[in-house]
Amino acid sequence: MSTINIGISDLNIAKPPNILATYALGSCIGICLLDRTRSIGGLAHIMLPSSKEATKASDNPRRYADTGIAELIELMRRNGAITSALTAKIAGGAQMFKTSLETFNIGSRNITAVKKVLASYRIPILAEDTGLNYGRTLFFDVATGTMQIKSVVKGTENF
């Protein structure tokens, strides 16, 4: 078994017994996708809700919920997954800084965008650990489908 680390604005897939991991989920969101029958999982670490917010054409499409999730699904499909068999678990989307302006609450906007994109693919969200005001580290066990979240605030939880 090995752990495959996913950086910010990145994604990857794995088969059992590998673990996918991402660190420093503040306002960012980790999206775990699993096709249990074909034993393939994927993880994306997105930063922003929409590629429409890109400031230049060369911006990394994995940075955004809409294009990052689409790329992850396509990568999983090319490796044998069936979109209709995918399920999701999500974590992150914290409000890391106090503000009364919803425009600046990137975490909340990310949660809404991720749920909208997953709904457009008809991918059910089986579990989530989102919002509030603290960072998270995510480990996704492709063999069991368990999303483990570690945080200073809540310790270790399995979803």
Strand 87-92 versus strand 146-151 pairing type: unpaired
Between CA 7 and CA 36 the distance in angstroms is 24
- The identity of residue 128, as a single letter, is E
Residue with the two structure tokens 């979240």: 149
Confidence check: pLDDT of 100 > 70: no
Question: CATH number for the domain including 74?
Answer: 3.30.1330.200
Sheet holding 125-130, edge to edge: 10-14, 40-46, 29-35, 87-92, 125-130
3-state secondary structure of 60: coil
Confidence check: pLDDT of 131 > 80: yes
User: Which ranges of 21-105 does DSSP label H, i.e. alpha helix?
Assistant: 65-78
Q: Which residue, among 13, 23, 29, has the nearest Cα to 142 in the 3D structure?
A: 13
Confidence check: pLDDT of 102 > 60: no
Domain count, the chain: 1
Active-site residue set:
28
Residue 99 structural domain: 3-158
Between CA 103 and CA 123 the distance in angstroms is 27
Between CA 24 and CA 6 the distance in angstroms is 11
Confidence check: pLDDT of 22 > 60: yes
Predicted confidence (pLDDT) per residue in 32-73, tens digit: 999 999 999 999 999 999 998 877 777 899 999 999 999 999
The pTM assigned to this predicted structure is 0.94
Q: Band of the pLDDT at 109, cuts 50, 70, 90?
A: very high
